[in-house]
Amino acid sequence: MSANPPIKALAQSLAGIFDNQRQAQETPTWFVPTRLWQYPLVQQIDGYYAMFVEQAPLLTPEQPYRQRLLLLSGHHDSDLEIIYRAFRDPAAIAGAAQTPERLASITSEDLLELPGCCLQVIQQGDRFIANPPEGAKCCFDYQGKTRQVELGFDLTPDCLYSRDRGVDPDSGNGLWGALMGAYEYRKHQPFPLPKTW
C-alpha cells in the first residue's frame, strides 16, 4: 500500500540535504554552520514510513551527530504526526547519511521509543507547521543524564526552519540549538521518495 498524498507531500519536503551556511555567515555568534541530511527509508518501521536524520558541522562533516528516525503518520492533512525514535547504538549508525546504503538494514530492534517526542503537523498550502502536543515533554537519557529537547519546525519545499533546542529539564533554560530563533536550513539536494512509498 502506498503512502497517502499528505504524507508524501510532507516527506518530499523533508527529504534532502540542507545547510544553514547563509544564516551562520550572517549571524555567526548564534548559529553554528551545520549540514542536515534527511533520507527516506525504503523499508517501513513498525508499519510507518520512516526518515533517517543526521547532522554534522559544515566544516567537519566526518563528525556527524544527533542521529534519529522520524516515523510519519496520518491519513489527512489535519492529523499528520511525526514520531521520533532514537538509536540504541548511535555510534553504529553514525555517518550513514553519507553512506545511505547502510540505511536498508535498520529495523525496529535498532531503535528506542521516546515517549513525548512527537509533533503534530498542520499543512497550509505547501507549508507544514509542526509543534508538540500541549503538555508533551521529549526527554531521554544520554551519557547517564536526563536530557530534554523542545521540538518543532516550519517547512517549505526548499527550507526547513528548525526550532529544536535542548533545555535543562529542571530549570527550563536553553542549552543548545535554536536559542535565538529558528535554524534556517536551505535545501541544496532533494531526494526522491523510494518506489516503496
Structural domains present in the chain: 5-190 (2.40.128.590)
> Scanning the structure block, which residue is given the C-alpha cell 528506542?
112
Pairing of strands 111-124, 80-87: antiparallel
Distance CA 136, CA 116 (A): 5
Beta-bridge mates of residue 163: none
46-96 tens-digit pLDDT: 999 999 999 999 999 999 999 999 999 986 656 899 999 999 999 999 999
Q: Mean pLDDT across the stretch 122-127?
A: 93
pLDDT of residue 150: 86
Q: Mean pLDDT across the stretch 6-32?
A: 95
pLDDT at 175 over 70: no
pLDDT of residue 146: 77
pLDDT at 1 over 60: no
* Strands of the 165-167 sheet, one edge to the other: 138-142, 145-150, 165-167, 174-177
pLDDT of residue 37: 98
Q: What is the pTM of this model?
A: 0.91
Q: Judging by beta carbons within 10 Å of its beta carbon (0-12, 13-18, 19+), is residue 56 exposed, middle or buried?
A: buried
In the chain, the DSSP E strands lie at: 16-19, 34-40, 49-57, 65-73, 80-87, 111-124, 127-131, 138-142, 145-150, 153-156, 159-162, 165-167, 174-177, 183-190
pLDDT of residue 2: 72
Percentage of the chain surpassing pLDDT 90?
74
- How confident is the prediction for the chain on average, in pLDDT? 91
